[in-house]
Amino acid sequence: MRTLQQAWQRARRRRMVITLSLGLPWAAAATALALRVAGFDIACVIATVALLVTVGVAITRARHLDRRWLQRQLDGSGASEDSADLLFTDETALNPLQRRQRAHVLATLESAVPELRPRWPRAAVLLCVVGGGATALLALGWPHAGLSPVAAPATQAPPTTAGPLRLQSTRLRIEAPAYTGQPARTQNALDAKVAADSRLSWSVRFDRAPRTAWLQFHDGRRLPLREHEGQWQAQDVARTPVLYRIVSEPALADARLHRLDVVADRAPTVRVIDPPSSLVLGTPGQRQWTLRFEASDDHGVAARATLSITTTEGSGENITFARRSVALTGTGEPTARRFAHTLDLAALGAQPGNDVIAQLEVRDNHAPAPQIGRSNSVILRLPSTEAVRGAELEGRIKKTLPAYFRSQRQIIIDAEALIRERRRLAADGFMTRSDAIGVDQRILRMRYGQFLGEESEGAPKAPPTSDLPTSDVPAADTHDDDHAHDHDTQAGADDDHGHDHGGAAAVPQAPPVFGSATDVLSEYGHTHDHAEAATLLDPQTRATLKAALDQMWSSEGELRQGRPEQALPHAYKALGFIKQVQQAERIYLARVGPELPPIDEGRRLGGDRAGLASRALPLTARTPPDPVVVEAWQRLGDGDQTPDLDALAAWQQRNSAFLPDALDLAAAIEELRIEPGCDACRQRLRAQLWRAVQRPLPQVTRRNAADAMGQRYLDALEAQR
């Protein structure tokens, strides 16, 4: 069965090839006729349609060789013994005799398959090739004057040679430089945006041959068009953006402007990915430093880059530099490559107190000379031994000072735990634990109040609510060890969570703890009262801390009344304000008076003006706008006057580098030159000139005149004077 299938497919392919051989010569002939009569654009359409029709007919004719055709061919050849229909019937639906006959036919076909491919129509193929080729040659080679349009009516008058020329077809071929990687392309439109240094080839066809033709550019340059086999061609290299039109003798009916934008190749840009900042402070004992860069370019970055490494040593004026370079290989797409390298600080000889400066330099694929792009310099500053020691001491002190801001979270945890255990506790036990947490909230509020200059209290007092208990209930046993540890380590905290502090004066003073804020201030500084602690915070931080104290007060009141659910929102808000206080910048100012120089009483009101000079700032004269532009803009506003377009075009060429869009202004000038009476062209040019004229500097506005009431007030002042 497999051999039969292959023979069947070969027959279909033979039929398709025969059809294509018969139709393609005539498709080529039709294309040649359309090219000669109607131009290149119509010829492309005719060629596409003829090719599609030929291929469609070939596929249709090949599909006609279906299963019935195969059965007829097998039965007609005698190889199937008139049993070809059994080959395409389901074997399960056959009786034993039919199955035996089917197997016999298959065995016969496997040994000798008849020839199913149709014969080549050699005469017909030869006739089509000769006829189509002769028609195409005659269409392309016959003299132009002797060929009349196809299917022209007999009553139509012969074409006249008078009147303006018309373009039949236009073609622009753009070959970008090799470094861009862009393929060559051909387009019918004459407006284009191309890469710098692209090679341009124009090819235009007129309805009749002109005497001469050229490309006229807006800067005055001409590029002649030369005739070759009916096509007028020219070549140039795109270097600057230009406007141009096709000019011929006799003149064209449509001589509109075309715009050619030139995109210059940009230099590659390099972005530092790691480290995220330009200055990195090293850690003590650091041995490696990882660098990662990303280089991007519009057409591609070279795979090889150079990493410049500079190591500084010394301080002050005794600094020495050691420079070296490392070649890196990038990964990723050519337009966005990544470079990574890990520096071995020991191999570079970097010591504590030194700086390591790195900068990546990449090149793009621009020809003939590549463009260079450099990254920002990143600096690794290795700390000196003295700085490390100072940082360690400062770190130890800072780890102790934030103990003031650590217990609010534990109060929230205790309140949430109490809410979960409410069903397992008696009413009195629940009230006792809630009141104890409220006492802890009160102690924490008093400690925060010290930073706002509030006076400390000798014994805890209940908030001003009518139903609060008059005595504080000890709560030390209801908290876990972590909570107790938080309270015990806080500077200036009472040992028993604020319970029964009436005898605090009789308690012997504990020895100072290293790093504690109050002990450091009392031992090495001069403290007066808690009001001085308030100077450690800026006004915004003080306001945030005051808001936290208000929320603590509300939380304390709810806890002391046995309502921890209502206390949690206030406790969470207090915790949020405390987090803001932790992140705020502290301001430490020395409490000393200003040291101003003494006042020389002898110079006061003496009238001595020696050494005094005029403080008036000099006024710089501003360059006035070019009168050519101002006059043209004013004339365009008057519909009866026409500006000097030649002078305006010369000004545009001189100042093209400073204009927002020089080509738009040049196009507006040329449009008005072609159609002097076009009001829309005048308004368009006037709008372009308004963008080009420099704006006047803002002047001091005069004060508004006084109204009736204000005038009466001024008159009264004058009368009193």
Q: What is the pLDDT of residues 155-188, one digit of tens each?
A: 444 444 556 888 888 999 999 998 888 899 999 9
Stretch (H or E) spanning 719: helix 708-720
Exposure of 349 by Cβ count < 10 A (0-12 exposed, 13-18 middle, 19+ buried)?
Answer: exposed
Residue 610 pLDDT greater than 60, yes or no: yes
Strands 378-381 and 355-363: antiparallel
Of 340-354, 423-437, 509-523, the range with the lowest mean pLDDT is: 509-523
User: Collapsing DSSP states into helix, strand and coil, what is residue 43?
Assistant: helix
Of 721 and 434, the structure prediction assigns the larger pLDDT to: 434
Of 319-333, 340-354, 484-498, 631-645, the range with the lowest mean pLDDT is: 484-498
Residue 570 pLDDT greater than 90, yes or no: yes
Residues 571 and 577: their CA atoms lie apart, in Å, by 10
Q: Which structure tokens are listed for 660? A: 């927002």
| pLDDT range class, residue 617, cuts 50, 70, 90 | low
- Of the candidates 216, 186, 214, 213, the residue with the CA atom closest to the CA atom of residue 199: 186
- Are the C-beta atoms of residues 205 and 169 closer than 8 Å to each other? yes
Q: How far apart, in Å, are the Cα atoms of 276 and each of 273, 336, 359, 380, 537?
A: 6, 19, 14, 12, 31
The one-letter code for the residue type at 126 is L
Q: Stretch 421-436: mean pLDDT, rounded?
A: 89
| pLDDT range class, residue 87, cuts 50, 70, 90 | low
Residues 356 and 313: their CA atoms lie apart, in Å, by 9
Q: Stretch 314-328: mean pLDDT, rounded?
A: 79
Q: What is the pLDDT of residue 519?
A: 46
Q: What is the pLDDT of residue 154?
A: 40
- Cβ neighbours, 10 Å, residue 268: 27
| pLDDT range class, residue 341, cuts 50, 70, 90 | very high
What confidence tens digit (pLDDT) does each residue in 656-705 have? Answer: 777 877 888 888 888 888 778 788 888 888 888 888 776 666 666 777 88
Of 604 and 568, the structure prediction assigns the larger pLDDT to: 568
Of 174-178, 340-344, 605-609, the range with the lowest mean pLDDT is: 605-609
- Of the candidates 435, 446, 460, 459, the residue with the CA atom closest to the CA atom of residue 549: 446
Q: What is the pLDDT of residue 82?
A: 61
Of 251 and 584, the structure prediction assigns the larger pLDDT to: 251
Does a cis peptide bond (omega within 30 degrees of 0) precede residue 368? yes
Cross-strand partners of 202:
172, 234
The one-letter code for the residue type at 56 is G
Q: Which structure tokens are listed for 58? A: 């070939």
Residue 144 pLDDT greater than 80, yes or no: no
